[in-house]
Amino acid sequence: MQGGLRRPGLAVPEAAPLFEDVEVASEAYTVEKTADELLALGRTTSLFHMIDPARRDAFENDRRRLVERLGGTVRSP
């Protein structure tokens, strides 16, 4: 059995009859964040901690300016 998008195939194809089809339900929503909220969220990610501590302030200042240029909030679908 071949895997789909972001889904690996079964390690043992003979196990396929043990599984049933699944149904995925989702709901789209939009979130607006201020620069402070976006930066606070970013600080919780492992990517943020990969930034050299000496450069984090500059990184956050650039992100803050970008959000300000976009009207003070960022929307994500």
Q: What pLDDT score was predicted for residue 49?
A: 92
CA distance 77 to 71: 17
Q: What is the pTM of this model?
A: 0.61
Q: What is the mean pLDDT of the chain?
A: 88
CA distance 10 to 54: 45
Whole-Å CA distances, 29 to 32, 67, 76: 10, 20, 8
- Report the pLDDT averaged over residues 38-53: 95
Does 6 or 19 have the greater pLDDT score? Answer: 19
- At residue 76 the predicted structure's pLDDT band, cuts being 50, 70 and 90, is confident
Q: What pLDDT score was predicted for residue 16?
A: 85
- pLDDT for residue 1 is more than 50: no
